[in-house]
Amino acid sequence: MKTQRIDHVGINVNDLAAAKAFFLDFGFEVQWEGDMSGELLENVVALRDAKTSVIMIGLPDGQMNLELIKYHTPTDKRDIQQPLANTLGIRHIAFVVDDIEATVANLKKKGVEIFSEIQIYEDTYKLCYIRGPEGIILELAEQIK
């Protein structure tokens, strides 16, 4: 077996419009939007009565795709999770940015939660964790040249 690449990362959200706006601001572009339901979806996700709205977004260079998913049914009865960086499971998505200082300053103005000030890792990367929509942890990284 040989894996070719990661196709996309799926992110379940309650507020699809807010999540879309957040990632479009990061430079993503909408590739597809639509609603999904029916037997195929139910069989793939193993949920009865599954009805979703989906927005597939990607970076212009095709390097990264995100699938933003709003489940209309069945709904998750729990509140939005606010995991910590050490919570088990898939925990964050890392984005390489051109100017981490400007990106973080812009996000602070918009009220985005910043975990820490920008840190330098072994003179190779500037790093910072933020919390995006629906509690998603994002790592910002700028390569030091």
Task: Give me the pLDDT at residue 115, please.
Answer: 86
Task: Give me the pLDDT at residue 4, please.
Answer: 80
Average pLDDT over the chain, rounded to whole?
91
Task: Give me the pLDDT at residue 24, please.
Answer: 95
Task: Give me the pLDDT at residue 50, please.
Answer: 92
Say if residues 83 and 46 touch (Cβ distance below 8 Å). Answer: no
Is residue 83 one of the residues assigned to a domain? no
Is residue 28 one of the residues assigned to a domain? yes
Bridge-partner residues for 56, per DSSP? 32, 67
Reported in sequence order, the residue ranges of 3-136 that DSSP labels E, i.e. its strands, are 9-12, 29-37, 51-58, 65-73, 92-96, 113-114, 119-121, 125-131
- Of the residues 73, 105, 127, which one is the last residue of a structural domain? 73
Is residue 79 one of the residues assigned to a domain? no
Is residue 4 one of the residues assigned to a domain? no
Query: Tens digit of pLDDT for each residue in 86-133?
Result: 888 788 999 999 999 999 999 999 999 998 899 999 999 999 999 988
Query: Tens digit of pLDDT for each residue in 4-50?
Result: 888 899 999 999 999 999 999 989 999 999 999 999 988 988 889 99
pTM score, whole prediction: 0.87
Task: Give me the pLDDT at residue 98, please.
Answer: 92
Locate 87 and state its tokens.
């919570």
Is residue 87 one of the residues assigned to a domain? no
Q: Are residues 19 and 68 in the same domain?
A: yes
Identify the helix (H) or strand (E) that includes residue 40. Answer: helix 39-45
- Of the residues 25, 45, 73, which one is the last residue of a structural domain? 73
The count of structural domains within the chain is 2
Percent composition of the chain: helix, strand, coil (DSSP 3-state, to 5): 20, 35, 40
Task: Give me the pLDDT at residue 88, please.
Answer: 80
Q: Strand 29-37 relative to strand 51-58: parallel, antiparallel, unpaired?
A: antiparallel
List the Cα angle 111/113/114 in 5-degree steps.
Answer: 120
Q: Are residues 57 and 106 in the same domain?
A: no
Range of the domain at 122: 92-143
Task: Give me the pLDDT at residue 42, please.
Answer: 87
CATH of residue 36's domain is 3.10.180.10
Is residue 63 one of the residues assigned to a domain? yes
Q: Are residues 69 and 96 in the same domain?
A: no
In whole angstroms, what is the distance from residue 44 CA to residue 118 CA? 40
Q: Are residues 63 and 109 in the same domain?
A: no
Query: Tens digit of pLDDT for each residue in 46-93?
Result: 889 999 999 999 999 988 899 999 999 998 877 777 777 888 878 899
Task: Give me the pLDDT at residue 101, please.
Answer: 96
Three-class SS state of 110: coil
